[in-house]
Amino acid sequence: MVRPSRHFLRRAALALVGLLAGAGIAAAAEAPRPGILSGDDVNGADVLGIWQFQPGAELSDGKGLADLKLSGRARVVPDDLFGGVLECFDNPAGEDKPNGAAAAWRQGPTPSGAFTLEAWVKLKAEPLNPAWTTGYIIDKTYVPRTHENPDLNKDYYLNLRQVSRGKTYALQAGVGLGAEVITFSSPPQEIAPETWHHVAFAYSGSGVGMLFFDGAMVSRQIHPGKGPAAPGPRPVSLGERCGSMYNGLPGYLAQVRIRAGIPAGVDWIAVEVAHPYQRHAFERLEEGQELVVRLNNLAGQALAGVSLRLDDGIGVRTVPVGDLGDEPREVRVPLSCVGKAGPYALRVTAEGRLDGQPAAGSGVFDYALCNRLPPYLPVVMWGGASPEQMKATGFTHSIQWMDQLDAQAWRAGEPLGFHEAFDGLRATLDKLLVDGLRAMGKMSPGGYFESQKAYEQDRPAYFGQDRDGRSTDTVNMALPRLQQFAYDTGRTIANNVAMYPAVDLVISDSEFRDGGKLSFRPEDREAFRAYAGYDIPAGITTKGGVKYDRIAGFPADRIIPDDDPVLTFYRWIWGGGDGYAGFLSQARRGLNDAGRPLRVYWDPVVRCASKWGSGGEVDLVGHWTYVYPDPLVMGLATDEVMAMAKGGPSYQQPSKMTQIIWYRSGTTGPLPEDRTQWAEWEQRLPEARFITIPPDMLEIAFWQKLSRPVKAIMYHGAGSLWDKGKAGGYDFTHPGTAPRLADLMTRVVKPLGPMLLQVPDRPARVAMLESFTSQMYYGGVTYGSMGGPVGRMHGVLTRAHLQPEVVYDETILRDGLDGYAVLVLPGCPVLTEGVASRIAAWQAAGGILIGDDILTPRLSPDILVRQVGSDRKAESIEKAQLLRAELGDAFVPYAEADTPEAIVRVRSAGSTDYLFAFNDQRTYGTYVGQYRKVMEQGVPTTATLTVRRPAGAVYDLLAGQAVAARAEDGVLRLPAEFGPGEGRLYMITARPLAAVAVAAPATSARGERARVAIRVTDDTGAAVDAVVPLRVDIRDAQGQTAEGCGWYAAPGGALELTLDVAPNDAPGEWTIAVRELASGRQATARWTVR
């Protein structure tokens, strides 16, 4: 990981000549109180000059050295708080006259070392010139900046600069050293008119200046290596500048004083505490965290024996530093993350000796420790969302853009390091961690290079070429410079945010492959020649393949050799020869080369031909789906994602996304002339182009995703999920969708997600081939949709309750067909010899082959199913029923319903089945159904569900209770009632659950681990052979929830939890309560934390 040393040190160096804000500034011990000074405050040896404007001595210097004379409108007036005060005036616009008070020439003190200027100031409500810019309080310099004449670079000044008219003002001061004038300023301060405020400027005599407002230090500025003020001949002036351009103060002055030394209680050591990567939020027990403590010696001479005292409220540690000279010192100190979750302030106190006397300074680092999250199923809002929206709906992640330095990385030709461009994002990531949320980063270097203006001049050099050498005007992602760009942007992002645990996923270049074209540049030709040993075959012009019926002499049985040159080319191009998969892999490598690995996601992974490798080496592949007109398209696309992932790296996992938005053009029609026939949303948003998915269709899609072993679910279209308060873009048109989704998150995903992550799919007995060979020689790529016969056949198989698995040519060649009883070949007119021969051998061994009317003549189907010609649900149901009838007893599905309107699917773990069932019975509603394109309104239904196992205890996991099931004829049957679009999830175990047991230690110490064992047993006392969902609640001795509370799963009926009790947790009796979610059985254990 790139350390941010240059960035951090640059900012720290700027602080030497800028403001040391926040933790590096210490306030004076006590705010001054208004009143008349007396005693040592007037007569003390440290007082060099004082003007109190009292009756009888209105203009006298209390030290008798610099009496004043009034000029212009200035006068001394009585005041209730101060007895007498000096009224000063600004000038009307265009006038420049003195209106203050000044001593005689060469009168006024010039301190030889450290000194302080101070005064009470009250601004007028109605100045003569409301637009005045600068008003002087004390001046003896005349020129407030370095002048070429060194005689003008003398003494000191203090003034106010008006920043926001009548509201905020900055303090400004300067010290003339002879060769130069060094200046100091503060951030704007709010100053109400007609109110008294105390202002002060203290100078160390060695380059350190401090400005105070009402006793609080508002800035400290360091000019290293500087010395004391140089004496000059100018008179000390109050309420005006001591010369032309008088800049009179529109206000009053009281108790003006010049003292030797600086205010008591001011720190001599400036302490700045920061995390090297700007973090302020950490997970509990993070290791290796350090803070950088930057020390600046403000005394102008060496400090001896400096040490740091670190106090985080849990413990105190001391770190020796040694002597501290003029140069800033950086000390790295460990940050302990062992405390319980909550806000913390680490106070760092630097202590040393100055001339034998104590000298100190302190700084504070504010941070939060956050509980580590139990296992959970990620639910990603693929878009922007506030933490409040995420929590209310149940999202765990939202998109955070991470494209801040893409163009700069391209120009640099290498990864960039830690950079301030990410500062805002890093603050957001801290907040997400504190809120218990996570982020999915978004990077699009490839898509940006294809389209954005920043790359306009460079882009043509990377365009592909057609066979004749003409530019295709599309970027060729296979070129090495672009592959390097993917790595560079990934590494740049990692260098800036990989150290933030809130970043859990990064999506790279969604959708960028869609517009790609074949390229025949010399580099492409050579790459294919290296792969295949021969040139790109003639006749290939597009990535979509060639038509077999246009090729003379094509084999009559439409079976081609495995090494067919045209097919070899298309395997190469779709398998990565076009560069897109490699681009994704390079991005992943960049994201993972900085230390902490980041999981990389890509979609839409099956918007391509059915060839392994679409997602490259990314960790998570997915696809988004519009679930209209037939919502069962979600099952098709999810099965295709799983098929693609099976050909990726061993770690690659499937995920699935639902589109919250619907294209209005695909779901409605022209508005009726009669406005009374318009739906509510049409009345409100007649121009809407994107509308909200209706709730019943959302839930139908939801159950199809969860019934498969996906590792994350996602949703896109925040503008259509939540009302953004304005029309345009993604419009909010259905108020019922967000509550339905939130309900599903609450009842299903949160409690059952950890279980679903561990329950594998049930081995399929029915396979549906999506043949790459046929796609390249005929067509039929689904692109994740049911727009053609191949995709629609999946819907038929699903409604026939056959639980199909999508397989590719490669699946058959690598894994064979032995596990399947039925193989369905929709749209397979052309196959390779290797695939066809394996199918034929499998069929000869008893496999049931189902084909359509265009199947290759080499194969003879056992059952012929005509291609599904439309997306009408009635046709799909009809073909499903005919297919089941033709299969008869030759193949009976493991689980089914007595109606095709109830869709079932099974996942299994050990001897336990997890039966998913949902209601697909729908009709035309009044949301979009009036246009007769989509049946969007769910209808209640009842069904009898059947699972072919002789016995079992059945539990409704959403209700948390056992349900009655009838065992007869070797099967289990259970009745089910479904509301519109409603789904259910049943757990079927070999034996009934009987008990939950929790074993905790009798005692454990704070700061140590307590190990808890949870066991769910059946009626024989054995651990249940299931992945059992659990709720765990842990409360400390004060009744507060502790880390570890949440939803869990117990594989094999057992779970061990390690509870890291913090050293500042409450001692006493702690409680852990466990509830298994199948039958609702509970158990509690207590132990003593000492």
Tens digit of each residue's pLDDT (9 = 90 or more) over 940-978: 999 999 999 999 999 999 999 999 999 999 999 999 999
Can you read off the two tokens belonging to residue 642?
């799983």
Can you read off the two tokens belonging to residue 310?
């670190």
- Can you tell me the mean pLDDT for 1056-1070? 97
pLDDT band at 26 (very low <50, low <70, confident <90, very high): very low
Instruction: Give the helix, strand, coil percentages of the chain, each rounded to 5.
Output: 20, 35, 45
Residue type, 281: A
Residue-by-residue DSSP string for 578-593: TSHHHHHHHHHHHHHT
Cα–Cα distance measured from residue 85 to residue 101, given in angstroms and rounded to the nearest whole number: 12
E-assigned strand segments in 42-153: 47-51, 69-70, 75-79, 83-87, 101-102, 115-123, 134-139
Domain residue extents for the chain = 31-260, 268-370, 766-874, 897-922+931-989, 993-1089
| Annotation: CATH topology of 993-1089 | Immunoglobulin-like (2.60.40)
Cα–Cα distance measured from residue 770 to residue 805, given in angstroms and rounded to the nearest whole number: 10
Cα–Cα distance measured from residue 901 to residue 889, given in angstroms and rounded to the nearest whole number: 22
Task: Give the whole-number percent of the chain exceeding pLDDT 90.
Answer: 92
Is residue 20 pLDDT above 70, yes or no?
no
Other Cβ atoms less than 10 A from the Cβ of 930: the count is 16
**Distances in Å between the alpha carbon of 474 and those of 286, 440, 467, 604?**
46, 28, 14, 20
**Mean pLDDT over each residue of the chain, to the nearest integer:** 94
Cα–Cα distance measured from residue 385 to residue 741, given in angstroms and rounded to the nearest whole number: 15
Cα–Cα distance measured from residue 64 to residue 53, given in angstroms and rounded to the nearest whole number: 13
Cα–Cα distance measured from residue 279 to residue 367, given in angstroms and rounded to the nearest whole number: 8
Is residue 224 pLDDT above 90, yes or no?
no
Is residue 14 pLDDT above 60, yes or no?
no
Cα–Cα distance measured from residue 328 to residue 312, given in angstroms and rounded to the nearest whole number: 24
Cα–Cα distance measured from residue 1053 to residue 1027, given in angstroms and rounded to the nearest whole number: 6
CA geometry: angle 629, 612, 475, nearest 5 deg: 85
| Beta pairing class for 953-956 and 438-443 | unpaired
**What are the beta bridge partners of residue 907?**
761, 914
The dihedral over CA atoms of 416, 421, 427, 433, expressed in degrees to the nearest 10, equals -40
Can you read off the two tokens belonging to residue 449?
């290079």
Is residue 779 pLDDT above 90, yes or no?
yes
Cα–Cα distance measured from residue 66 to residue 103, given in angstroms and rounded to the nearest whole number: 5
- Can you tell me the mean pLDDT for 418-438? 97
Residue type, 826: P
- Right CATH for 268-370 from 2.60.40.10, 3.90.1510.10, 3.40.630.10, 3.40.190.10: 2.60.40.10
Of 69-83, 296-310, 431-445, 1056-1070, least confident by mean pLDDT is: 296-310
Tens digit of each residue's pLDDT (9 = 90 or more) over 474-512: 999 999 999 999 999 999 999 999 999 999 999 999 999
Q: Which residues fall within 8 angstroms of residue 564, CB to CB, at 6 or more apart?
A: 832
What 3-state class would DSSP assign to 958?
coil
Cα–Cα distance measured from residue 945 to residue 917, given in angstroms and rounded to the nearest whole number: 8
- Tell me the Ramachandran region of residue 72: left when phi exceeds 0, alpha when psi lies from -120 to 50, beta otherwise: left
How would CATH label the architecture of 766-874? 3-Layer(aba) Sandwich (3.40)
CB 74, CB 251: distance < 8 Å: no
CB 609, CB 775: distance < 8 Å: yes
Task: Output Rg (C-alpha) for the chain, integer angstroms.
Answer: 38
Is residue 30 pLDDT above 90, yes or no?
no
Can you read off the two tokens belonging to residue 270?
């400036």
CATH superfamily assigned to domain 897-922+931-989: Golgi alpha-mannosidase II (2.60.40.1180)
What 3-state class would DSSP assign to 441?
strand
Residue at token pair 């393949």: 545
pLDDT band at 10 (very low <50, low <70, confident <90, very high): very low
Would you say the CATH fold of 993-1089 matches that of 897-922+931-989? yes
Identify the helix (H) or strand (E) that includes residue 12: helix 5-16
pLDDT for 97? 94
Residue at token pair 């500042």: 1064
pTM of the model: 0.86
E-assigned strand segments in 869-992: 895-897, 902-909, 912-919, 922-923, 937-938, 941-947, 953-956, 961-963, 966-968, 971-978, 983-989
Residue at token pair 């997600």: 753
Tens digit of each residue's pLDDT (9 = 90 or more) over 908-929: 999 999 999 999 999 999 999 9
CA geometry: angle 690, 696, 702, nearest 5 deg: 90
Tens digit of each residue's pLDDT (9 = 90 or more) over 808-841: 999 999 999 999 999 999 999 999 999 999 999 9
Is residue 21 pLDDT above 90, yes or no?
no
pLDDT for 448? 96
**What are the beta bridge partners of residue 135?**
160
Residue 628: DSSP 8-state: -
- Can you tell me the mean pLDDT for 853-873? 96
Can you read off the two tokens belonging to residue 981?
């679009």
CA geometry: angle 953, 956, 962, nearest 5 deg: 45
The alpha helices in 735-859, defined as continuous H runs, are 737-744, 750-756, 772-777, 789-799, 809-815, 833-844
Task: Give the whole-number percent of the chain exceeding pLDDT 70.
Answer: 97
- Can you tell me the mean pLDDT for 429-440? 97
Cα–Cα distance measured from residue 335 to residue 289, given in angstroms and rounded to the nearest whole number: 5
Q: Which residues fall within 8 angstroms of residue 796, CB to CB, at 6 or more apart?
A: 865, 868, 876, 879, 880, 883
Tens digit of each residue's pLDDT (9 = 90 or more) over 672-693: 999 999 999 999 999 999 999 9
Residue 253: DSSP 8-state: E
| Beta pairing class for 397-401 and 379-382 | parallel
| Beta pairing class for 1003-1004 and 1082-1089 | parallel
Q: Which residues fall within 8 angstroms of residue 654, CB to CB, at 6 or more apart?
A: 620, 621, 622, 638, 641, 642, 644, 645, 708, 709, 710, 711
pLDDT for 354? 84
**What are the beta bridge partners of residue 999?**
1013
pLDDT band at 237 (very low <50, low <70, confident <90, very high): very high
- Can you tell me the mean pLDDT for 733-739? 98
- Can you tell me the mean pLDDT for 47-66? 96
CB 976, CB 945: distance < 8 Å: yes
pLDDT band at 7 (very low <50, low <70, confident <90, very high): very low
Is residue 15 pLDDT above 60, yes or no?
no
- Can you tell me the mean pLDDT for 980-998? 98
The dihedral over CA atoms of 337, 338, 343, 345, expressed in degrees to the nearest 10, equals -70
Residue 474: DSSP 8-state: E
Cα–Cα distance measured from residue 820 to residue 806, given in angstroms and rounded to the nearest whole number: 12
Cα–Cα distance measured from residue 111 to residue 206, given in angstroms and rounded to the nearest whole number: 12
Cα–Cα distance measured from residue 191 to residue 135, given in angstroms and rounded to the nearest whole number: 14
Tens digit of each residue's pLDDT (9 = 90 or more) over 603-660: 999 999 999 999 999 999 999 999 999 999 999 999 999 999 999 999 999 999 999 9
Is residue 1037 pLDDT above 90, yes or no?
yes
What is the CATH number assigned to the segment(s) 31-260? 2.60.120.200
Is residue 22 pLDDT above 60, yes or no?
no
pLDDT for 297? 86
Cα–Cα distance measured from residue 782 to residue 189, given in angstroms and rounded to the nearest whole number: 65
Residue at token pair 């004749």: 468
Q: Which residues fall within 8 angstroms of residue 49, CB to CB, at 6 or more apart?
A: 61, 62, 63, 65, 66, 108, 109, 236, 257, 258
What 3-state class would DSSP assign to 434?
helix
Cα–Cα distance measured from residue 639 to residue 735, given in angstroms and rounded to the nearest whole number: 31
- Can you tell me the mean pLDDT for 1001-1011? 96
What is the 3 state secondary structure string of 1052-1076? CCEEEEEEECCCCCCCEEEEEEEEE
